[in-house]
Amino acid sequence: MTPLITQNLPTPLRLADFKLAAFDMDSTLINIECIDEIAAAAGRKAEVAAITEAAMRGEITDFKDSLRRRLALLKGVPVAALEKVLSEKLRFNPGARELCAALKAAGLKLLLVSGGFTWFTRHVAAELGMDFVRSNELEIVDGALTGHLVMQPWGEICDGEEKRRMMLQCATEIGAQPAQCIAVGDGANDLPMMGAAGLSVAYHAKPKVRAQAMVAIDEGGLDRLLGLFT
């Protein structure tokens, strides 16, 4: 297995110097892009996946617009399709449970911050022991998706800037500085929070993200990160 790619790492890298770890969900902690799998139930996976891929690569710079375009294609999808994705498709990526358990054991708080949906983040957060969660709420009427999101107290769409803001807000709540935050992601939507964190980690990420991260895990599981700490 190839070594981790590292650049501009603080030295020494000690887990005790960090207080918060923020994680993207889709394709980072879990093996799928949930919105693409929902789209499969509507027979529109190719259309939606193409937009998802372009947004993750950073080719579509307006995440909110890209999400609204994809959601519109999901209008009428039954709730049963969401249940099927959760039970049959969603799996944790290698090392996700181990990394989160080790971070919690070391006293860090965990944040799940996703441009995905609460239908799935609730499950993932409960399984991994997340302390904070932020994600989008699908609007469901008469047992089917409307193609829209529900407005929440903080706003409607969790985009890259909201991920960054939430990470910094949680850090403030626990008395941590940005330098004491770890941010882990794979797509362009994760770059704002990764850029604000003391340690940024790209997991099987798009080239643009890999190039800007301090640590890139291109092979193996998320728990490989633990090997960098003294």
Q: For residue range 57-105, what is the model confidence (pLDDT) as tens digits? A: 888 889 999 999 999 999 999 999 999 999 999 999 999 999 999 999 9
pLDDT below 70 — which residues of the chain? Answer: none
Q: Looking at residue 230, what is its pLDDT? A: 85
In angstroms, rounded to a whole number, what is the distance separating the alpha carbons of residues 139 and 152?
11
In angstroms, rounded to a whole number, what is the distance separating the alpha carbons of residues 73 and 226?
40
What CATH architecture is 5-31+92-228? Answer: 3-Layer(aba) Sandwich (3.40)
Q: How many CB atoms lie within 10 A of CB 161?
A: 14
H helix runs in the chain, sequence order: 34-41, 45-57, 63-72, 79-84, 96-105, 118-128, 160-173, 191-196, 207-212
Q: Which tokens is 90 given?
A: 């969603």
Q: Looking at residue 3, what is its pLDDT? A: 78
Q: How many CB atoms lie within 10 A of CB 111?
A: 26
pTM recorded for the entire structure: 0.96
Burial of 171: CB neighbours in 10 Å, binned 0-12, 13-18, 19+? buried
Whether 26 sits among the annotated catalytic residues: the reply is yes
Any idea where the domains of the chain sit in the sequence? 5-31+92-228
Residues 148/139, Cβ–Cβ less than 8 Å? yes
Q: Looking at residue 138, what is its pLDDT? A: 98
Candidate list 24, 36, 159, 190, residue with the active-site label: 24
Candidate list 26, 36, 186, 190, residue with the active-site label: 26
Q: Looking at residue 75, what is its pLDDT? A: 95
